[in-house]
Amino acid sequence: MATRFPLEMIEEEPEEEELEEDEPEEWQTTADPAVIKHRRISAKSAHTKSLNQALLATRAGEDVEKVKLLRAIIVREYEALKEIHTRYMELAKLNQEDGDKEYKWAYEVTEKQRKALKDVQKYLNPHLPKPEGSVRSSASSRSSTREKLQEAERLQKETELKIQQQRAEATERAAEEERMHQLETARKAEEKRIEAARQDRQLQM
């Protein structure tokens, strides 16, 4: 039966000052699952509240440093909640059905944490310093884009020139066909005139 949350631990930067080690809490020393479960409820409530604050901060466009702080808080509270849950699962004698419910509960908590961290990281990414390689890559990308635009402009000009040539050729063909049509019409008219004159001469004879 799984006792750990599936999300891997995210390490935070070490504190500059070492804090005195806190006294162990009751849930860390007791063997009573009910006490541990009660502590888990309050830890879950605190984590949910901090998680919502972090998401609201990103949506409101809060200061980056504040968002980083909230991110650190939800990571630490998640880790604390995971430890409490792990100890509860170690001591609670659960049947298969209750064990499955606990696993589902932990999975849902983890998914909310994962999605929140993804949203927070997406908000922070534009504000993070880019490594030198990324700068070169960005410059190379801009150069490549500029070359593609120039090539597209060249192809567009060639296409426009071809269209103009085709239109000129079509106009010239149409004019030539019109001249040929006029000549043919004139020829037939002349033939009719000659035939009419011949018939008139025959009638006069």
Residues 6+ apart with CB under 8 A from 34: none
Read off the pTM: 0.53
Q: Which CATH number does 26-127 carry? A: 1.20.58
Identify the CA nearest to 5 among candidates 76, 96, 111: 111
Answer whether residue 124 shows pLDDT above 70.
Answer: yes
Locate the domains of the chain by residue range: 26-127, 154-205
Identify the CA nearest to 117 among candidates 167, 79, 161: 79
Identify the CA nearest to 57 among candidates 46, 70, 48, 45: 70
Q: Tell me how far apart the alpha carbons of residues 134 and 184 are, in angstroms, rounded to a whole number.
A: 74
Tokens of 65: 């440093």
DSSP 68-120: HHHHHHHHHHHHHHHHHHHHHHHH----HHHHHHHHHHHHHHHHHHHHHHHHH
Q: In the predicted model, what is the mean pLDDT of residues 25-39?
A: 87
Q: 27 falls in which pLDDT band (50, 70, 90)? A: confident
User: Out of 58-62, 80-84, 104-108, which region has the weakest mean confidence (pLDDT)?
Assistant: 58-62
Q: 11 falls in which pLDDT band (50, 70, 90)? A: very low
Question: In this prediction, what percent of the chain has a pLDDT beyond 90?
Answer: 20
Q: Tell me how far apart the alpha carbons of residues 148 and 168 are, in angstroms, rounded to a whole number.
A: 30
Answer whether residue 181 shows pLDDT above 70.
Answer: yes
